Amino acid sequence: MIPNSIAVEEKVKPLHIKHIMEQIGLTDEDFEYYGKFTGKIRLEVMEKFKDRPDGKLIIVTAITPTPSGEGKTLTSIGLSQALNRIGKKAIVTLREPSLGPVFGIKGGATGGGKSQVIPSELINLHFNGDIHAVASAHNLLAALIDAHIHHGNELRIDVNNITWERTIDMNDRALRHIVIGLGGKVNGVPRESGFVITAASETMAILCMASSRTDLKRRLCDIVIGYDLDGKPVKAKDLKACGAMMVLLNEAIMPNLVQTTEHTPAIIHGGPFANIAHGTNSVIADKIALKLADYVVVETGFGSDLGAEKFFDIVAQIHRLKPSAAVIVVSAKAIRYHGGIKSQDDFTIEKFKKGLENLEFHVKNIRKFGVPAIVSINKFATDTEIEINLIQEKCAELGVECAVTEFFTKGGEGGIELAEKVVKITETIPSDFKPLYRLSLPLIEKIKLIATEVYGADDVYIERKAMKKLEKYIEHGYDHLPVCIAKTPNSISDNPKLIGVPKGWTLTVTDARLFAGAGFVVAICGDIMLMPGLSKNPAAFNMDVDEHGNIIGLF
């Protein structure tokens, strides 16, 4: 019988967070309690354990996402539980769910079945106030910009060249492009503006890229909010915004500790989207976890072309992290989708093998970074033996280890083989990790290299608007920054309708953003939106609260 996620959580008696702390060697001095089941790890822990050797860093990625989902969060949680079951001290580090997807397409984002992080309702909703703090800090800077202009504009900010927008943690397409300051002089100066979803905001990216409070303040001060009338960048420090933004982020910078359904420690911190931002939890969470565990399992968003590439080229390169292995999540359902199999009656071995080309593409992507790969076959009850065998045969052909996992129905027990293979690989095959490019490579060349090497594009076309912005960034000294490409997660290409492994296509860069504080340039490709919209039948329609205060339909 397939377990119900809510029923599983209701049967689990969560341990007081003090017991989870003790598992990883933390004391009351290292921790801020937020109730009985969660709290924040103080940053002083990094100094306290600085002389400890780091544990092994395992990233979890996947083949190209499909409407069914592949199970990256599930696998990340389940693998950490399985590692603990075989005697290894493991911690899973995850992003915080955004309310946009929670109430939009996905519903809850805390794993499922017997591999969840709990308490799921708290984590899925206002989890310790972090995203609220990020939005508040971001919008404070926006308010300071308009207040400065209203009171005389001493910095001579060009009101037609302000790049800093406001943010909200909800899918709301009506806020993408707006006009503010209407209603007369008392309400400010009229100008065009807009909103981005908080998970795609630069403030979120900064929180997750910062390595300390000092680094956080430096990055906040480096934010470019727009340009003055001479075309020179105006920064947050020019508006004297950094200190107040730090005040709002003072608690948010501390990582959150919770537990899984098997009481494995889980650190959940930050939530940048991977199709728009860089797609992984905070660097601080990873660095703390690496001092506290033998194995740290990190989920990276979407496929290897997005979350994994960005983790390797941006996060790991900037912060000198060295991944020991990468787990690529695949399912027979996803292979059917990429092979064009619309129903079981439509199944043929030839079509299924066509879908397996997508898995091969992602395995080869991981190898380009010098990181050992292993495939996790996320098994569903509807999978057939022939489908599982075909995936295993493909892995053997590629010379990559694989393991069938059943984390949803069996928890950590359903991934013992995967855990053992991960341990064996990390102990016998040294990682030769290297980023795809050096930071000294010209900005435009970085974009072209990612497009051709990681996406398989034949060429890159940069539209005039995007090129003018990129040239301006280069002119102002930002050529050395890594590139974060914003594109659809639903295809290796920039066209969400192209499944499998598209061939003979050109990546189109339509726009660009400078995230000077976060430390990267965003190249926006295709029709990707920085503010999503709700569907006709969003997950919100299925949610409610009963008379006893119990939340219904969050999964």
Annotated binding site for ATP: which residue ranges? 66-73
Q: Which residues are annotated as a binding site?
A: 66-73
List alpha helices for 222-274, DSSP H.
242-249
Give the separation between CA 239 and CA 151, rounded to whole angstroms.
12
Residue type for position 34 = Y
Give the separation between CA 12 and CA 518, rounded to whole angstroms.
39
Other beta carbons within 10 angstroms of residue 25's beta carbon come to: 15
Helix/strand/coil for 504:
coil
| Residue 439: Cβ-neighbour burial (10 angstroms; 0-12, 13-18, 19+) | middle
Tokens of 391: 């995936």
Give the separation between CA 504 and CA 481, rounded to whole angstroms.
29
Q: 318, 519 in Cβ contact below 8 A?
A: yes
Give the separation between CA 299 and CA 295, rounded to whole angstroms.
13
Give the separation between CA 523 and CA 245, rounded to whole angstroms.
26
Helix/strand/coil for 520:
strand
Q: Which long-range contacts (CB under 8 A, 24 or more apart) does 212-220 make?
A: 212/43, 212/46, 212/284, 213/43, 213/246, 213/250, 213/253, 216/246, 216/249, 216/253, 217/242, 217/243, 217/246, 219/517, 219/518, 219/519, 220/137, 220/245, 220/246, 220/249, 220/517
